[in-house]
Amino acid sequence: MDTTSSSIKKGPILFIMILGAFLATLNQTIMSVATPELMVDFNISAATAQWLTTGYMLVNGILIPITAYFMKRFTTRQLFQASMLIFLAGTIVSALATNFPVLLTGRMIQAAGAGIIMPLLTNVIFTLFPPNKRGAAMGMVGFAIIFAPAIGPTITGYVLENFEWKLMFYGMVPFALLVIICGFIYLKNVSEQVITKIDIISVILSTIGFGTLLYGFSRAGSQGWSSSEVLVSIALGVVALGLFTWRQLTSQKPLLDLRAFKYNMFSLTIIINITVTMVMYADMMLLPLYLQSARGYTALESGLLLLPGALVMGFLMPITGRLFDRYGAKWLSIIGVVIMIITTIGFIDLTDSTSYTYLVLMSTGRRIGMALMLMPIQTAGLNQLPPSLTAHGTAISNTIKQVAGAVGTSLLVTVMTDRTKTHLTDMMSTDVNGATQEHMILEATIQGINDAYIVIVGIAVIGLLLSFFIRRVEQSSEEVSYAKVNTPSM
């Protein structure tokens, strides 16, 4: 079947899958603002409550590498509907939870469904659209995956101020049901089904490797890098991933075909995406921390600050996609990163009186920069891969983003924590004005956040320098590339 033929109605397929991706991505962000209330309701510590986010990320990180096999083994319709049913089941369990273990179980079930959706959506777009039309389609995807986490804190803040936290999950149930029903009616199969056996050893190595690595990095933020728990987890993850990599490179039918890295533009854009993902986590973690802990803003006010940027970003993503189709990714990436650097510099001198309006403008500016380059970078790299490696490329890209997010979060938390301690020590030793300890802790915390933003600027500069090497390349032909990429090692 010619999957790119006009006989396939692309609109309904994309709408259903993008709505599913929107729900899955929105669900990832709702817990961060709700954590303080859940700590009170369940009488748990912050470290325990954090597992609602960490556990979700771990399941995602473990499952995504296996999606390349799933996308070959099952039809589009089977895989998407199964993932949405799993997501719905997890949402219902979470909504009905009366204690923390049940809520955590529901979140991890949700993650099992959500982890499949985004790589599947990307693969469908690369199957349905030729290279010169993928930018616009990916722009619509970008709208879903960026707009959702931006409005998530606002929605959560509103719910928490007016209703019980369970409404966050009850509210998702009808939307998930709508997606599933529409999927049964309109969703078509767009990829060829290949019956193959799964490599159990690779699955085990992947699960241990990515699971322990993500766990180690996520715990480093709270436990510190010298913690034996962190060091052992990361070391085990590195060893398991080393064995996993060796097995993929020597296998005739790898679970995750790492030979995709032989394509230079794919490899370059993956590295740039790592820097960008780490920079993105500044808005998701540092800014809400500054607003709520240091400035005393409510969860709703913190969420509303991100809303203008989300609206602007949602408007720009489809436009950026069309610009990519016409001009390529290089200058969109360069301009986008430059805007991100300039606006992030605006956050390195925060004080206890920085105006709310100023923060809105700087945050919105950062999102404009992200809108210009996020989807173009990913699409430019995947465009180079032959069709046989598209599923593997999307799985690799999404997996590395998970790891980069965990590394970025732990790095920023470590910098902020260490620098806050240093600033507090300096203030206590040189204080001549009789400032209260509470005031000194506040000032030290703000300066620690400022120092973390300086690190973010440095990471963004690396992304900028790499962006100058982006060039427009043709999609590698199936015959030549497959022979080159799948030659077994001797």
Dump pLDDT digits (tens) for 434-463. Answer: 667 777 888 888 888 888 899 999 999 999
Among 220, 250, 280, the domain boundary falls at 250
Same domain, 190 and 207: no
- For residue 136, pLDDT over 90 is answered with no
Mean pLDDT of the chain: 81
Same domain, 184 and 271: no
Count other Cβ atoms within 10 Å, centred on residue 40. 9
Same domain, 180 and 207: no
Q: Which of 15-29, 138-152, 251-265 has the lowest mean pLDDT?
A: 138-152
Count other Cβ atoms within 10 Å, centred on residue 350. 21
Same domain, 276 and 212: no
Same domain, 395 and 487: yes
Count other Cβ atoms within 10 Å, centred on residue 264. 13
Give the CA radius of gyration of the chain.
22
Same domain, 297 and 213: no
Percent of the chain with pLDDT over 90: 14
pLDDT tier at 431, thresholds 50, 70, 90: low
Q: Say which DSSP state 477 is in.
A: P
- For residue 307, pLDDT over 50 is answered with yes
pTM higher than 0.85, yes or no?
no
Same domain, 272 and 300: yes
Would 3 be classed as within a structural domain? no
Would 1 be classed as within a structural domain? no
Same domain, 50 and 191: yes
225/241 Cα distance (integer angstroms):
20
Report the pLDDT averaged over residues 298-326. 81
Q: What is the pLDDT of residue 163?
A: 82
Which of the two residues, 149 and 161, has the higher pLDDT score?
161
Same domain, 323 and 308: yes
- Three-state DSSP at 279 gives helix
Asked if residue 32 lies in contact with residue 289, where contact means CB atoms within 8 angstroms, the answer is: no
365/253 Cα distance (integer angstroms):
45
Number of domains within the chain: 3
Specify the CATH number for the domain of residue 388: 1.20.1250.20
Count other Cβ atoms within 10 Å, centred on residue 14. 18
The token pair at 359 is 């923060």
- Three-state DSSP at 374 gives helix
Residues 389-422: pLDDT tens digits? 887 888 888 888 877 877 787 778 778 888 888 8
Same domain, 278 and 396: yes
Residues 156-179: pLDDT tens digits? 777 777 888 888 888 889 999 999
Same domain, 282 and 373: yes
Look up the domain containing 332 and give its range.
260-490
Q: What is the pLDDT of residue 485?
A: 39
Same domain, 287 and 374: yes
Report the pLDDT averaged over residues 21-43. 77
Report the pLDDT averaged over residues 301-306. 77
Query: How would you class 446 by CB atoms within 10 Å of its CB: exposed for 0-12, middle for 13-18, buried for 19 or more?
Result: buried
Query: How would you class 173 by CB atoms within 10 Å of its CB: exposed for 0-12, middle for 13-18, buried for 19 or more?
Result: middle
